[in-house]
Amino acid sequence: MQTTLKVDLGDRSYPIHIGAGLLERAELIVPHLAQKRVAVVTNTTVAPLYLERLTATLTAAGVAVHPIVLPDGEAYKNWETLNRIFDALLTWRAERKTTLIALGGGVIGDMTGFAAACYQRGVPFIQIPTTLLSQVDSSVGGKTGINHPLGKNMIGAFYQPKAVLADTDTLKTLPPRELSAGLAEVIKYGFIWDEAFLVWLEAHMEKLRALDAEAVTHAIYRSCEIKAQVVAQDEREGGLRAILNLGHTFGHAIETGMGYGNWLHGEAVGAGMVLAAQTSQRLGWIAEADVARARALIRAAGLPDAAPDMALEAWFDYMGHDKKVESGQLRFVLLKKLGEAVITGDVPKDVLTGVLAAR
């Protein structure tokens, strides 16, 4: 089973292919290559699983493949590792028409995309995301970048891929905790955009966690479709695109407060979405029953539905580093109702304090 949808960005439009066995489908990749040479950027975890399969597919289609295998982990999403990509590209004499292929999760995708945006002022790149989170979120929409010691994803570029291939077979080797982290972003799309999708998720969460092929393909398709719609309207996050950050202001504070890697990004977003729902309830926008429903779905996905214990000053300090901060003012993505998000800077401090204290 394979489905395809399009991200509509004029002459920078591109297809997202979703389905099983896509690593074997050279015809989904080769038409996008300006030259039959590619550098495949991956990491030490994903390479032993999928690099050989992808290389065999491309080699059989007459494409020369140069692998670049990086260390695994968010801690390596930095200048030093980025420079290793440039070292390898220059040593191999990669040219302006050489395509970079990202084979891995969001860390590899974000770094490879940024390397492609910078190398020789821009070379083509293709995303082959291998985690659920990267298949439904990070590989789509063109946000690329690395972390700075003073802030996550603070250095980067908007740079769209030529194509995205989400091979659902790769999810079979994904640790269950990583699968749940990806489900947080899937649930996010329901909360911000589509109540009917939320209802569908409530009914299919068990199947999704068991990797039922039809359910997983639908969840990825609908998630990418919603993200593509938002990105097509606001590629560079002048406004609307910020709704994709539901739960992320609270979530980033949790990630920072708990130390990177202790809470996965998706886990922090899960707990963050509960806090966003509770804030929306205190503002009178959604009912207590909606918050209970949100919590139940987040729990059903195997995610924490409550934030960890942190001092109030720490919450506000960490939330103050959010990229949505404007003129020093915190801005939040909240819910007008389930299925409709709003971005607001107008949340009284006592409301936030109440939510965070009652956690």
Shortest reach from residue 343's CB to ligand NAD, in Å: 17
Q: Tokens 């790769």 — which residue? A: 170
Pick the binder of ligand NAD from 55, 81, 98, 130 (CB under 6 A).
130
Site string for ligand GLY, 102-141 (x = CB under 6 A): -----------------------------------x---x
Nearer to ligand NAD, 168 or 281 (CB): 168
Would you count residue 324 as binding ligand NAD (CB under 6 A)?
no
Classify residue 33 by its DSSP letter. Answer: -
130 binds, among ligand GLY, ligand NAD, none (CB under 5 to 8 A by kind): ligand NAD
160 binds, among ligand GLY, ligand NAD, none (CB under 5 to 8 A by kind): none
Pick the binder of ligand NAD from 24, 72, 290, 340 (CB under 6 A).
72
Pick the binder of ligand GLY from 66, 77, 84, 143 (CB under 6 A).
143
For the chain, the straight-line distance linking the first and the last C-alpha, in angstroms and rounded, comes to 43
Q: How far is CA 325 from CA 94, 277, 317, 343, 344, in A?
A: 39, 20, 12, 11, 11
Non-local (6+) Cβ contacts of 89 within 8 A are 39, 68, 98, 100, 115, 119
- Backbone phi, psi, residue 20, to 5°: -85, 150
Q: What is the CA radius of gyration of the chain?
A: 20
Would you count residue 244 as binding ligand GLY (CB under 6 A)?
yes
Q: Element (H or E) spanning 16, and its range?
A: strand 14-19
Q: What is the number of alpha carbons within 13 Å of residue 128 lying toward its C-beta?
A: 29
For 71-150, strand residue ranges (E) read: 99-104, 125-129, 143-148
Shortest reach from residue 114's CB to ligand NAD, in Å: 10
Shortest reach from residue 141's CB to ligand GLY, in Å: 4
Non-local (6+) Cβ contacts of 206 within 8 A are 300
Q: Tokens 């990825």 — which residue? A: 220
Contact criterion met (CB below 8 Å) for 282 and 187 = no
252 binds, among ligand GLY, ligand NAD, none (CB under 5 to 8 A by kind): none
Shortest reach from residue 30's CB to ligand GLY, in Å: 28
Pick the binder of ligand NAD from 17, 28, 82, 104 (CB under 6 A).
104
Nearer to ligand GLY, 143 or 162 (CB): 143
Nearest to 225 by CA among 8, 2, 1: 8
Shortest reach from residue 355's CB to ligand GLY, in Å: 23
Shortest reach from residue 281's CB to ligand NAD, in Å: 26
Angle of CA points 12, 17, 19, to nearest 5°: 170
Angle of CA points 284, 286, 287, to nearest 5°: 95
Non-local (6+) Cβ contacts of 150 within 8 A are none
Pick the binder of ligand GLY from 37, 66, 84, 241 (CB under 6 A).
241
153 binds, among ligand GLY, ligand NAD, none (CB under 5 to 8 A by kind): ligand NAD
Residues labelled catalytic = 121, 143, 185, 227, 237, 241, 245, 248, 252, 265
Q: Which residues contact ligand GLY (rule: CB under 6 A)?
A: 137, 141, 143, 241, 244-245
Q: Which residues contact ligand NAD (rule: CB under 6 A)?
A: 43, 45-46, 49, 72, 74, 77, 104-108, 110, 130-131, 133-134, 137-138, 141, 143, 153, 170, 173-174, 178, 181, 265
